[in-house]
Structure 1
Amino acid sequence: MLELRPNCECCDRDLPPESAEARICTFECTFCAHCAESVFAGRCPNCGGGLVARPIRPADKLIRNPPSTIRVLREGDCLAQRVPHSAVA
């Protein structure tokens, strides 16, 4: 079961369960679409895997399977790691 983490690990933007802006890797590292593309060029900085759209859990399933409330943040200034615009696919 996906954790549905509540925030972007880079900029700490809120990513509620219904957010179409959430991106995850196979280890569920979670980033907003902006950071996933403009900072990490679609690759997870933790494992190197691809960042893809996180599935949206139907609202009626959230009651029995709630999202995580634990916020995860990368150490340091990950926004300083931005990739040049030309490198973003």
Structure 2
Amino acid sequence: MSELQQTTDELRERIDRDEPTWRDVISGADDHWSARDVRAELVGDVRAEIDAIEESDPDLAQRYRAHAHPRRDDRNGQWHD
């Protein structure tokens, strides 16, 4: 079993026990290692998609970047508006 699969299995079991909610996981309120790992994976996937879209549409990239700014504690390249 891969490390990512173990991580998602752990998180799924915790959610099934109502320990965190998905909102807790995504918002960062859940600081369990499984939530941190899944958040990092999701952020990386979303960042890769945004990068691909920006590369294919420079006008969209310019408009997007005009309304978004990096977070000060950014370690994964996240952007928010």
User: Which TM-score band applies after superposition, normalised by the shorter structure?
Assistant: under 0.3
**TM value normalised by structure 2:** 0.23
User: Which structure has the higher relative contact order (CA within 8 Å, separation 6+)?
Assistant: 1
The structure whose residues are more often helix, as a share, is 2
More strand by share: 1
Larger radius of gyration: 2
Q: State the TM-score, normalizing by the size of structure 1.
A: 0.22
